[in-house]
Every structure is written in C-alpha cells, then in structure tokens.
Structure 1
Amino acid sequence: MKNLAVFCGSSKGINSVYIEHAEKFGEELANNDRTLIYGGAQVGCMGALADATLNSGGKVIGVIPQRLKAVEIAHDQLTELHVVNTMHERKSKMAELADGFVALPGGAGTLEEWFEVFTWSQLGVHAKPCGLLNINNFFDPLIAMLDHTIEQGFMNKDYREMIIISSDPKELLEKMDAYSPSYAVKWT
C-alpha cells in the first residue's frame, strides 16, 4: 500500500493530542515511503499531517475544491495540488489515487468522506483497506454505534470486521498492509 488517503479535520480540536498524533502519523507515512493523499488544506489536523509528512521527506498530494481553496487555505508547499470543482470530484480523485483510506479525528466532513469509501468496500466497489486512527479514543462512540447497528440487524458483522482500528500509527499501517479483502453478500 503506497498511496494512503487520509481524511481528518481542518480544525485542531480542543486537545493538542490530535495535532501531535496527526504529526506522528505524517512522520510514519514519510518514514515508510508512503504518499499522503489528503484534502489539500494547510490548517488544522490536515495541515499538521501534511507538514509532518513533508518535513520528514515524504510526498503529499492534496485535492481541494475551488470553493474551499480560500476557506480551508490551500497548502502551497505540496508535492502536487489538484484543484477540482466539487466535493464529489475531490472524493473521486482521492479514491482514484489511493491504495487505502484512514480517518483521523475530524467533523462531519471527515466522517462522511470515510463512510463513503467504507460503504464502497462493503459493496465490493473496491478492495482497499479502511482504517481509523483512534487518537484519544475519539472513535470509540462511533465504533459503539456500528456495533449497535449490528445488534439491531442493520449491518452484517463481517462488515465491522473489515474496519482496521488502532491508536498507534505504525500498528495501523502494519494492519492495513496485512489486510485481505473479503466481500460479504448482503442479501442471502
């Protein structure tokens, strides 16, 4: 897995641990010769992730919609920056370039972007790993919600097992490298 799409917040969050771990993840990507594919911003966790990857000698490809170029403050030091017309084009381009997907803490946009690629995995649209870097137990409520959807009969337990989760950047990448895609038939 060479190219990794990472979805995360354009905000810093209220705890410095989010920025610190975004930086650690960026360093880990660079140190393992991974190319970061991300939303193209220079602010928040997104900016910290990109800067750490670049400062550690890694490659970073940003994809940002024209409308958000000023709002999210497009990063001007990237290896490549793709400016697209819409959010749909952003997600499509990131998915095209990526060999796998990870979410770090973020808001509704982060969750929406990650859930879309995870849903594509469930449907067999792609066979790329989908992971969560569970910084500061950020995703614990989400994981509990997914378990609840299984308990209530709205999600196959095999789909839950497709999600790679770790609080350690190195371990997460190792698990993603070892990922073996499986496809569970939804309607049998």
Structure 2
Amino acid sequence: MESVGVAVLAGDQLTRDGLVAGLASHPAVEVYLGERQRSARVLLVVADQVSEEVLGGIERFGRSARHRDLGVVVVANEIREHHVMRAVELGLAGLLHRRDAGFEQITRAVVAAASGRAELPAAVTRRLLEQLRTVQRDVLGPRGLTVSGFTERELEVLRLLADGLDTGEVALKLNYSQRTVKNIIYGVMTRFGLRNRTHAVAYAIRSGAL
C-alpha cells in the first residue's frame, strides 16, 4: 500500500521533531518536510489547546496545499465546541485527545483521513448531527433545500432517473410536464457543473443524496 504523505504542524519544535521521528518508523505514512509539505494529503496538528491561532495556521496551510481535499487530524488536550465546528469547515477528519494518542492511533487517524473517512469522538459526531438538523430545519427546509444541496423536487426526479425511467416516464409519474422535468435536470447540471443527466444521477449517488 502506498504511504500517506503527512505534514506536521506543532506549537513547538521539540514536539514537532518528536512526531517526525516517531512517524518515520511507520511505513503507512511518510512525513513531508520543507516545500514538499504542500503535497501532503493530510495535515497533522498537535497543540495543547485548539485556539484561533491554531485554526488560522490550518487555514493558511490549506490555502497553500496542492490537495483541495486535504484531511486534517488534530491531537489536542482541549478544543471548544465552536472551534470544532470551524475545524470541520477546514477539513477536520480526526480528533484525538493528546493524553491518549500514541503513534499507532495517530497513524490510523492519518490513514483514515487520507481515504476520506472521519474518525471523531461520539460526542463531536452527535453535535455535528444536531447542527445539521438545525440547519436543515431553520435554513434549508424553508427554502425547499436539503443538506446535500438538492431540492426535494430535484431528488424526486433524480431518484426516478436512477431507477431507469426516461424524462417522459418521470413526468407522468410525478404529474409534471416533460418540459418541467427537463428544466429541473438542467438546473441541477448547471448548478453543479455536470455534463448530462447520467452524470447528474451519478453525482447525487456519490454525494449520498440518493
């Protein structure tokens, strides 16, 4: 298996040097140094407390990173709730308590982040779900949108297209005109930059909307 490129951001040089040395013995990861850091798939951040300064460092690194889907793993003694939400926006995929984080746990979190999986404490996951429900109820719902970015009407159409129906059959099933169905599909394609209806269905499936 190809090793995961990881950059290390720490509050002091001693901690950083210790992490670089410790991770060097793990074949699953490779620490990138110097200019090569910009090519890392994962940013590993170690701090006593996740502060605005730490979050600013993550944001600056993300802007210079070559991978737009950079995963962030944070190892810290303390992180406040509003900082968790900001960290998620910046790509947080792993959160470990510094007291419990050994090199094995850190390596697993880094590999998971590189593969697009998030390994977060149950309390953080619950809070994120609560936030999503609030956004859906108070912001998206009144506008006819869902968390996925699709409207309920768009999802109805895409779901039927995914079942193999053509636009005429979709129109008949939903009691829409065929022109309305085509306009809905065109709206999805335009908003998400998709090539055709097949691409639209595939995109909705990959995003978890269908």
Task: Please give the TM-score of this superposition, normalised by the length of structure 1.
Answer: 0.35
Task: Please give the TM-score of this superposition, normalised by the length of structure 2.
Answer: 0.32
Greater radius of gyration (CA): 2
Q: Which has the higher helix share?
A: 2
